[in-house]
Chain A
C-alpha cells in the first residue's frame, strides 16, 4: 500500500491518501480560475475510504459557489487550496494536486471547460484531450 501525504501552505492542515488516484484533470472553468488565481484547478480523486485528514480540520473552510456546485475547500490561515468536489460529504475526495507533498503517480488526463478559459489562457498543445465542458460520461 502506497500512501502520499499532502498539506496546505502553512502546513496546519495535513492529510494522507492511499494510491492509486482514480483520475485527474485540469479544469478551466471560471470558478476554478477565480479560486486558484491561475488558469483553473488541477485535481485528482480518491475514494473517501482511502483518504484521512490528519490535522487541522478546524482550519478547513468550505465555499460553495452555488447550491449543488462543486465546492472549494481551503486553509483559512494561508489560503492554500485543498479539496473540491463535494467535500466533506462526497463519496470521492477531489484533492488539489498542488497541495500534495509527494508524487501522486498520476498525471492530469484531460482539460475540461476549455470553452470557459480566460482570454490570456493559451492552452498549449500538450496532447491531452480537451472538452468544451464536462468530459463525456
Chain B
C-alpha cells in the first residue's frame, strides 16, 4: 500500500500530500534559507514531483528565486508559510519543508548543509549529523 503524508500551510489554504518515501532530508544553513525561514536553517525532504499532489490552494502559492540557478522558495502568499523549494515544480527532485507536514515524513534530517554560512547567533548542536561546508556532495 502506498504510504501518504499530508501537509498544509498555517492558514490551511494550501493542502497537499506526498507519497513516501522521501529520498533524503537535511537542514540547510545557507543565507537564503535563513532569510526565508527566519530561523537558522530550513529543514526539507526531497521527493520527485510525481510524488506530490496539491489538493487545494495552488493559486495561493508564490515563488521567489533568489538568483538564477538557485533553489526557489515557494510559500503561501496568505500566511507566509514556507512549503516547497529547490527545483519546484519542474526539477527531477524538489524540496518539501518538513515544517509544513501534518504527519511523520518517515525519515529524519540526515545532514547539515552550508554550515560555512551558519548564523553568528546559532550554535549548531552536537547532534552527530554530518556537516557540509556547502552542498552535500
In chain A, what residue has the closest Cβ to B25? Answer: A120
User: Given A37-B99, A38-B41, A63-B11, is A80 in contact with B79 using a C-beta cutoff of 8 Å?
Assistant: no
Measured between beta carbons, the chain A residues less than 8 angstroms from B127 are 122, 124
* Interface flag for A74 (CB, 8 Å): yes
User: Given A78-B36, A96-B39, A120-B98, is A34 in contact with B10 using a C-beta cutoff of 8 Å?
Assistant: yes
* Interface flag for B9 (CB, 8 Å): yes
Residues of A participating in the B interface, judged by any CB pair closer than 8 Å: 7-10, 24, 26, 31, 33-43, 61, 63, 65, 72-74, 76-82, 96-100, 103-104, 106-108, 118-120, 122, 124-126
Q: How far is the CA of A14 from the CA of B11 in the complex (A)?
A: 26
* Interface flag for B42 (CB, 8 Å): yes
Quick check: A81 and B108 within 8 Å, CB to CB?
no
Quick check: B38 and A36 within 8 Å, CB to CB?
yes
* Interface flag for B137 (CB, 8 Å): no
Quick check: B38 and A33 within 8 Å, CB to CB?
no
Measured between beta carbons, the chain A residues less than 8 angstroms from B119 are 97-98, 100
Q: How far is the CA of A39 from the CA of B120 in the complex (A)?
A: 19
Interface of B is mostly: loop
Q: How far is the CA of A124 from the CA of B123 in the complex (A)?
A: 11
Measured between beta carbons, the chain B residues less than 8 angstroms from A34 are 8-10, 79, 81, 99-100
Q: A125 contacts which of B9, B41, B107, B125 (Cβ < 8 Å)?
A: B125
Quick check: B83 and A37 within 8 Å, CB to CB?
yes
Quick check: B10 and A61 within 8 Å, CB to CB?
no
0 or 1 for each of B51-93: is its CB under 8 Å from A? (1 = yes) = 0000000000010101000000111011111110000000000
Measured between beta carbons, the chain B residues less than 8 angstroms from A82 are 38
Quick check: B125 and A35 within 8 Å, CB to CB?
no
Quick check: A38 and B80 within 8 Å, CB to CB?
no
Quick check: A41 and B38 within 8 Å, CB to CB?
yes
